[in-house]
Structure 1
Amino acid sequence: MMAYFLQVAVLLSLAAAMAVYAEMKLDCRQGFVTLVWTESRSQADTSLFRLGNCFPTSLSTSEAYFNVDLNDCDFRRLVTGDQLMYTNDLTYISSPDSHIVAFTHPVVCAYERPDNWYPMAYNPVFQTYGLEYLVFNIGLMNGDFSGPAESTSFPLGTLIPIMASVAQKTHQPLLLLLEECVAATTPELQPDSIIYPIISNKGCFVDSMTSRSQFEPRQKSSEIQVSLQAFTFALGEEVFIHCELLAWDPNGVDHTKKACHYVKGQGWELLDNPDYSALCDCCESSCKSRRTRSVASGKRGVVQKGVLGPLTITDVTF
């Protein structure tokens, strides 16, 4: 096993009621996992165990054995600080006539993150957030968005390239939007925080009205690129950009699920289809949904808060 993939297997303890009749052995290796569940109850049917969506690799009357790849079985991957975490559920599906009650047991493997590994090949200026089955990223890029930024310092008036993305894997195709973004001098927003609005009113790039800021043409529906003109707010101080990222049904765009920026001499334009820029008409008033289904329902999208920074905007000296 490679040194940088030093394993720290996280074995969560069994509930007290289960400890007397069952034992789980988990071996987290580079790229794959071995799990053995041993049952002492003769009524248990080991063929009814599942690791995520995977059947046992082999089984006996008392054991369910799994030897699976971390890219299979619906393992969820999260990046937390200096760790890669893979999580899943071991589930027992009880049959109708069984005395064994169905149950779910968490399975977690944690590894030290390699120094040269970053989500989607980006460097540490990217922040990663895991939520349910999705992984969100937001970070600073170089001038042509071909790689990570080499600096977190930007002269006043220059463009700050920002890209956000959502990794969706087996999920249906999603459209990534930025609902709200503000700049502040703290990594956490407080009720009395002084902020600089960047994107507001459900996807309106308000900063583009008075600057060269704009959304860049999309390369993928699951990514969104922003060129933000460096502003005078908190000049010379550490700045954090707080955003609400929305992964949404591509067919559900409306007045509150959109990406609009202001084009000089033309007015507000919808990023994804300028022919429907009428959805941006509310950007200077109040954008309200005309649909009844919401993000809160969990049926069409997921919202995740993200913080980018710190970065510094420097004064231009001559």
Structure 2
Amino acid sequence: MMALFWQGALLLSLAAAISVYADMKLDCKPDFVMLVWTESRPQADPSLFRLGNCFPTSFTAREVVFSVDLNDCNFRRMVTGDQLIYTNDLTFVSSPDSHILPFTHPVVCTYERPKDWYPLIYDPVFNTYGQGDLVFHIGLMNEDFSGPAESTSFPLGSFIPIMASVEQRTHQPLLLLLEECVAAATPELQSESNLYPIITNTGCLVDSKTSRSKFEPRQKSSEIHLLLQAFRFALGKEVFIHCKLVAWDPIGLDNTKKACHYVKDHGWELLDNPAYSNICDCCDSSCKSRRTRSIEPGKLGIIQRAVLGPLTITDLNS
């Protein structure tokens, strides 16, 4: 407890010191951000400042300028009610011979959300989501998963190839799972939304019991490939697939962290190790862990919600 107290005191002292020796001016334009950081300490090398992953647009001995697009520099976007919020971090990375400690300063731009605005994450080809220092992707792919889909229209009964992934960066190896997926006719789920279940029960591809849908063998632990047979739902209309992505410890699989699909004349099969397919037995009932689902010390569990669409399922007979 005392250690935490002194650590908090140190952070407060550092923040106070930064406010004394520097000044930040932030101008949030509709499409870009202008940030000017004025530094009074001559030891601070202005070239070592970063806004997200962006280098300074220009700098002098005492002033650092960033003029950047909101779609660059790893800005994080969040919608809350009538507000559209972009957040990032201004960091000083320091150098080995510098007397100034590395530090981070928050950067926040808040806008009024346009009534007809829908976020770019609904782009049907490939979507990117930030979660801390992890980056999640989900997208429509071509037939052999070698590139993005060329069309967002799928005939009834054909396959919809979907790939989800997580960039591991400096983390330990991660296993990417699809915990839940449902189809809806709207980009945002509402209480009255009509839903088509695809993956439920924490990782059970329930659609595979009545169709040819299946998980494809993994190429990387950080990716998961799903072949989803185009279903009879909202035919001819826009369809959005809402999923919950989970980055998990590869050795931490149990009946609440898994990827299972149904194989005809065989039963439920675990994607990552068919020898342990017994953890999929609960897919026909309710998958609940006997132990707490909180993250154990030393294990990583990051959840990210994602939306894929719009796509269209067509009926050739209509």
* TM-score above 0.5: yes
Counterpart position of 1:204: 204
Instruction: For residues 146-187 of structure 1, give each alpha carbon's deviation from its aligned partner in whole angstroms, at most 9, with x where no partner exists.
Output: 111110000001111000011121111100000000000000
- Mapping for residues 102-117 of structure 1, pairs under 5 Å: 104-106=104-106
State whether residues 76 and 88 of structure 2, in contact with CA within 8 Å, keep that contact through their aligned partners in structure 1.
no
The answer for the alignment partner of 1:39 in structure 2 is: 40
Offset at 1:89? 4.5
Q: CA separation in 1, counterparts of 2:93 and 2:137? A: 34
Q: Which residue number corresponds to residue 69 of structure 1?
A: none
Shift of 1:256: 0.3
Contact kept, 8 Å, 2:124 with 2:310, in 1: the verdict is no
Give the structure 1 partner of residue 142 of structure 2. Answer: 142
Q: Is the 8 A contact 1:51 1:88 kept in 2?
A: no
Contact 1:254 1:290 in 2 (8 A): no
Q: 1:141 to 1:101 in 2, by over 3 A?
A: closer
How far apart, CA to CA, are the structure 2 residues paired with 1:217 and 1:16?
Answer: 53
Label 1:215 to 1:104 Cα distance change in 2 as closer, same or farther (>3 A): same
Under a length normalisation based on structure 2, what TM-score does the superposition of the two structures give?
0.68
Question: What stretches of structure 2 of length at least 5 have no aligned partner?
Answer: 1-14, 27-35, 51-60, 65-72, 79-85, 95-99, 109-122
Q: Which residue of 2 aligns with 1:96?
A: none
Is the CA contact (8 Å cut-off) linking 1:78 and 1:129 kept in structure 2? no
Q: Which moved more, 1:285-294 or 1:255-264?
A: 285-294
Q: Structure 1 counterpart of 2:184, which letter?
A: A
Identity score, percent: 66
Letter in 1 for 2:247: A
- Aligned partner of 1:270 in structure 2 is 270
Alignment of 1:272-291 (within 5 A): 272-291=272-291
What aligned pairs does 1:298-317 form with structure 2 within 5 A after superposition? 299-317=299-317
Cα distance in 1 for partners of 2:205, 2:141 equals 19
> In structure 1, what residue type is equivalent to 2:144?
D
Change (3 A) 1:188 1:148: same
Name 2:183's counterpart in structure 1.
183
Q: Is this contact kept in 1: 2:200–2:206, CA < 8 A?
A: yes
Q: TM-score, length-normalised on structure 1? A: 0.68
Looking at structure 2, the residues matched to 268 and 296 of structure 1 have their Cα atoms a distance apart, in angstroms, of 28
Does 1:77 find its partner at 2:74? yes
- Per-residue CA deviation, residues 48-101 of structure 1 (Å, 9 max, x unaligned), is xx868xxxxxxxxxx8999xxxxxxxxx835869xxx995443699xxxxxx99
What CA RMSD, in Å, does the superposition of the two structures yield over aligned residues? 4.0
For 2:127, the equivalent position in structure 1 comes to: 127
How many pairs were matched up? 254
The residue type paired with residue 171 of structure 2 is: H
Specify every segment of 5 or more residues in structure 1 that has no aligned partner in the other structure, as ranges.
Answer: 1-14, 27-34, 53-62, 67-75, 94-99, 109-122
